[in-house]
Amino acid sequence: MGNFFPRWTNWLPLKLAIGVAFIAFGVSVGVAYYFTPKYTRVGYEPTQPVPFSHKIHAGQLGLDCRYCHSFAENSSHANVPTNQTCFNCHGPGKGNIKSSSPKLEMVVKANETKQPVPWIKVHKAPDYVYFNHSAHLNRGISCQSCHGQINEMEVVKHAEPQSMGWCLECHRNPEQKLRPLEQVTNLNYKPEQLDRTSFYQGLLAKGVKADEIAGTISEGKKATTVEDLVSLASTTFGENVTQLEVGTQLKKHWQIQPPENCTACHR
């Protein structure tokens, strides 16, 4: 006698039971979370082993986030930099910047013993949550939306709740946050700094039809040239480029659809 059902079906009832229990539990707890306005981690600001300042390095020196957090863009995890990255500037005989400063002693020691600096984690998603950095950065969500104004922080602090309700709030209305990809690590970006002509030219260059762009600016409207689009947008949004203007175009034409189903974030 052969097996009529493959082996895995033995597990099916159990899987279903777990699934149902998880959803029932999840909905109640999830709802409770969603309605908690201020999650307690906001403000968490541990003292780090080395007084590393983002305000100096990312703010004043203007280093791009990816110089140190080099994996954020291409992998699910953002990394903290290795000692070698610091030594590009602070290493003796290299940049030699402040290489004998007592504030850098810990980095020198860590390097000698080939150990990483024991940085204290500030942001940590629970293990049952699936989160991917690159999936956000490559779709036009900035570090700033999730970590706050890091380039002005002496010490990194937990600026956003990163609760389930917070994730979902953006997933439901991504147009409030989307920005052009080249602005993702520019923490001082403001939509009104964008040049309207270049923005629409950029969309046209990517092959989006002028009529589709016009219809997204204002329902039922048509256009043929970039000048048409700029004048239509000026009438609809005013003199300056606005977040809603940029966000709705990017959402529509890049087909941004952040997931809201449980299994997207809990796999």
- Smallest distance from ligand HEC to CB 41, Å: 8
Per-residue interface string for the shown chain with ligand HEC, residues 171-190, x marking contact by CB under 6 A? x--x--x-------x-x---
* Tokens coding 189: 């970006």
- Among positions 34, 44, 67, 71, the unique one binding ligand HEC when judged by CB under 6 A: 67
Cβ-based neighbour number of residue 52 at 10 Å: 21
Sequence-ordered list of residues with C-beta below 8 angstroms from that of 66, at least 6 positions apart, any chain: 72, 73, 185
Per-residue interface string for the shown chain with ligand HEC, residues 200-229, x marking contact by CB under 6 A? ------------------------------
114 binds ligand HEC per the rule CB under 6 A: no
Please say whether the beta carbons of 234 and 212 come within 8 A.
no
The region of 9-17, 19-27, 214-222, 236-244 touching ligand HEC under the rule CB under 6 A is: 19-27
Question: Three-class SS of residue 49?
Answer: coil
Using only the alpha carbons of the chain, give its radius of gyration: 24
- Among positions 91, 110, 111, 151, the unique one binding ligand HEC when judged by CB under 6 A: 151
- CA-to-CA dists, residue 178 to 38, 109, 212, 255, 257, angstroms: 24, 42, 19, 12, 12
In this structure, what DSSP letter does residue 146 have?
H
- Smallest distance from ligand HEC to CB 59, Å: 8
Total site size for ligand HEC, rule CB under 6 A: 83
159 binds ligand HEC per the rule CB under 6 A: no
The region of 10-18, 20-28, 219-227, 242-250 touching ligand HEC under the rule CB under 6 A is: 20-28
- Smallest distance from ligand HEC to CB 188, Å: 9
At residue 137's C-alpha, the angle toward residues 131 and 140, to 5°, is 125
